[in-house]
Every structure is written in C-alpha cells, then in structure tokens.
Structure 1
Amino acid sequence: MDSYDHKSLDEETLFMVSQTFKALSHPNRIRILHLLSHAEYSVNDIAEQLGLKQSSVSHQLIFLKNLRLVKYRREGQSLYYSQDDKHVMHVLNEMIEHAQH
C-alpha cells in the first residue's frame, strides 16, 4: 500500500476544493448551475425560470462568480451569466444523474 503524502494537498488547493463543495451544498446554487449548464441567462431570466427572487439570484451568482464557477457578459444594462468551469459542471451533472437513478 502506498503511503499518504500529506504535502500533496496545499492549503490553497484544500481551500478551493472545500469552497467548491460548499457552493454545491446549497440547493439554489445547484439549481442555478444546472440551468446555466444548458444556456446563458440574465439574472431576471434565472429568477423567472427558477421561481426565485432576483436579489436571491444575484447573491448566489456573486458567490459562484467569486469561485469562478460562473462568468458574465454585459449587454446594455443586463448581465448574462454562463457556466465557467466545465470540470465542476461535469461533477454536478454526474451527481444529478447518480441521484436520479
């Protein structure tokens, strides 16, 4: 059996992994990420699609943007969000598929 190298995970890596799992631990963030895995949406469109308040969606998007899980582009007064991490989206979609079976 190989011995565990406790130095293989530095603090920054541990922090980013734990924050990503924290992001995926909130039902509304999962719903937002799942929606964005299919298309780009404005904050208003996300709120309408998911039946959430715009302020709640904005709050969750800031959290997800800070982790680089979503990105946005500006068009006039509107911000359009899309997924920004294919690896995390793959893990999320795999977990959704796993939970549905």
Structure 2
Amino acid sequence: MSEAICDIRCFDSEKVETVQAELAAHNTFAISQLFKVLSDERRFKILYALTKQEQLCVCDLALIIGASVATTSHHLRALSKLSILTHEKVGKMVYYQLDNPVIEQLVLDAVAPEKEVVTYG
C-alpha cells in the first residue's frame, strides 16, 4: 500500500469531528468561489492597481492589465459580484475602487518583498 494512504478509516475521530464542526460554521462554497475569482492573473492585477490608486476608470484598468475594455469589464463584474469592488458612474466614465479591506490586505501581503512566491508547472 502507498505510504500516503492510511490503512484505517479514522485515526482520531475527535479531531475529525472538531474540524467538521468548524467547517460547518463557514460558507466554504462562497469562500472557494472567492479564491477561484482571485486566482485569475488579470483580476489580481486589477486588485493590485486598486491598492495603489484609490479609484481607476475601466479604460485605465484595461491598459494596466493589457486587455480590452470589454474583457476588463467582465473581470470587474466578477469582482463586484463578490462585494470586492464598488463603482461610481460619472457621466460616461465608470470608476472602480476596492471595497474590502481584507482583500486589499491579502493582495498587499501577496506582493510583499519578503514573500517568496513559489511557482508550479
């Protein structure tokens, strides 16, 4: 049998039950959806840009991430659906800003110089 597989069904049922109870208290589906949205490189660039500038318009964000305005708008909608961003329409311009301090800190922590990013593949 492989070394990575247990030979018994459950070794420490108390630990298993404790973690299962803690998980039940969280909306793990919503949390996983959040990480799914954040895993896109362009969305990360949008979030990073908005940590550096209080607000940016769609066309400027499109230039920053190297995408069309339509593609950028798609990414902005996905981030807005999760209450990460808010937007304000001024005339024909739409300006976006970060509206989630936890996400802002997550982005800043991810790019901190002392952090070593490990890549796979």
TM-score by length of 2: 0.73
Q: Find the aligned partners of 1:43 and 1:36 in 2 and give their Cα distance.
A: 11
Aligned residue type for 2:69: Q
Match of 1:36 among 32, 44, 50: 50
How big is the shift at 1:93?
A: 1.5
Structure whose alpha-carbon radius of gyration is higher? 2
- Would you say 1:61 and 2:48 are equivalent positions? no
Q: Give secondary structure in 2 for the equivalent of 1:79.
A: strand
Which residue matches 1:90? 105
Higher relative contact order (CA 8 A, sep 6+): 1
Which residue matches 1:27? 41
Q: Find the aligned partners of 1:11 and 1:63 in 2 and give their Cα distance.
A: 25
For each residue in 1:25-59, what CA deviation from the matched residue of structure 2 results, as whole angstroms up to 9, or x when unmatched?
A: 11000000100112200101111223211111000
Structure 2 residue ranges without an equivalent (≥5)? 1-13
Identical pairs, percent: 25
C-alpha RMSD of the superposition: 2.3
Structure 1 residue ranges without an equivalent (≥5)? none
Q: Give secondary structure in 1 for the equivalent of 2:86.
A: strand
